[in-house]
Each structure stands twice: as structure tokens, then as C-alpha cells.
Amino acid sequence: MRRPHLRSLLPAGVVALAAVGGLAFSLTAGAVGRSTSVQTAADSLTPPPIHYVTHFTTAQVKEGEVLFEANCSTCHGTRAEGSAVAPDLQGLGPATVDFWVSTGRMPLANSSEQAEEKPPKFDQAQATDIAAFVASLAPTAPSYPDGIPYVNTKDANLQLGMRLFVLNCAACHTITGAGDALADGAYAPSLHRATSTQVAEAIRTGPGNMPVFGPGTLSNRQVADIVAYVTGVIQHPDDRGGLGLGGIGPVAEGFVALLFGVGGLMVVAFWLGERA
């Protein structure tokens, strides 16, 4: 029997190698495709920087209606439609109502008073109920967030948060977040007791004289960075240089240092001079 010539085997070998290569490529592509799909699924499970609660239960709305009727309707009306002494709340969204109630700015004992932060009359669950009731009365206007923000600061960037705070917040709230008087007689409040939700609500709704920082100005990720910086670094400073003095700022702290430090040294110098 004659053996087949090598040249006659080449076409068959090429075909076999191509088939093996095609099979290997298809298996590799399938593995890559499965790996990509798994990674995408894992990414979809990553918590967002801000989660907005937009849906409330019927029980929350009913409980909020009872609380609103007893504590807010005298000024704002039974349907939050407003009056001569208080603004219309319909369409402002639950975040706005939650901010004013949870920070103790509302309700006011006297409608002629200026709303200032004070110990809240309601706990957080009750404040959410009131916000849920007001939100149920009318759709939220496009300029307000359609939900109460809850911030995830796990992956926040503190360095970027500090830069954003300095650029957008420190001019009014001071670099230490202690608050300060404004030119028109208003006051930028201290941030030392604000919760993460309240900081995000203030950024997105612009209470009082504060401007609204919408998603076109600050993304949710940037808001989370600012919140992390405020609730972390500002509220819990690492005072390596000594006493924090309440975080009132470098100017006031410098005055205290001059008054007591230099004054104390002068007293010691005079005492030594008298002894000499």
C-alpha cells in the first residue's frame, strides 16, 4: 500500500486546525461573555451613592395627615394649600418637608417668627409621615427631588468632598461648618449636628437663602462626597494640635491663642522681672 504524500495531507490538516481553532475561540468567547455578564450583574448590585425613597405606605400617609392637621394646618391649611401667613407646600416634594420638620424649623410656635434650627418636635418616623402626607397631595415639581434622600458614604471620596465643600459651602457655613451671619441679616446654620439625609436635602432643595444645587450642578456622587466630609471630618475632627475649641474656626482660635498664650507669657515675664 502506498503511503499518502505529505502535500496531499496539508489541506486536510489545515481544515482540522481551523476547526480546532474555531472551537477554542468559541469556548473562549463564551467564557468571556459569561464573565462579563457576571461582572455586570455584580455592578448592578452596588448601592447607589444616594437612594431616594419615593413611595410611602397608606399607613404613613394617614398618620402624617393626623400629625399635619394637629400641628401644621392652622397656618398651611388642611391640604397644605397655604395661607396669608404660611406658604403653599403642595409640589415641594417630601425632601423639603422632611428637612424643615426633622431639623425642628417647623412647626413654628408663632407664624411671625423666623424659622431656626431647634430640637425637633417629631422623631424621624413622624417627620417622614408628615412628608409622605404632603407629597400625596400633589406631584412634585421638577425643580425638587421626588423623594427623601438616604446617602451611602461607603465609597465616598473625602478629598473631593473637601474641595467641593470649600468651593460651594464654606463661604456661608465657614470652613469648619460652624455657620455664620450673612449680608442680608440671615444666618447660615451650623452643620455640626446635621444628619447625612439633612445635608443632602439642603443641597438638593435649597432651604432659606441657600441656593439649590441640582443634579446639573452636583451629581449624586459629589453630594455623597460632601455629605461624607461634613458628617465625618467636620463633625468628628482630628484635633491633633490640641483642643478643638468647638470648631469655631481659625480666626477665633487664633484670638484665643493670642489672648491666653501671649498674655500668659507676658504675665510670666513680668513676674520674672519683679523677682530679678
DSSP string, 87-117: ---TTS-HHHHHHHHHTT--S-SSTTSPP--
Domain ranges of the chain: 52-234
- Measured between alpha carbons, how far is residue 51 from residues 39, 105, 220 in Å? 22, 24, 9
Backbone angles phi, psi at 84, to 5 degrees: -70, -20
How confident is the model over 191-200, as pLDDT tens digits?
A: 999 999 999 9
Who contacts 230 (Cβ-Cβ below 8 Å, separation ≥6)? 161, 165, 177, 191, 194, 199
Who contacts 229 (Cβ-Cβ below 8 Å, separation ≥6)? 156, 158, 161, 162, 164, 165
Question: Could you tell me the pTM of the whole model?
Answer: 0.73
Contact between 213 and 204 under an 8 Å Cβ cutoff? The reply is yes
pLDDT given at position 30: 44
Contact between 108 and 144 under an 8 Å Cβ cutoff? The reply is no
pLDDT given at position 15: 44
What is the CATH architecture of 52-234?
Answer: Orthogonal Bundle (1.10)
Task: Flag the least confident range among 184-188, 223-227, 242-246.
Answer: 242-246
- Residue where the block lists cell 465625618: 232
pLDDT score of 244 more than 70: no
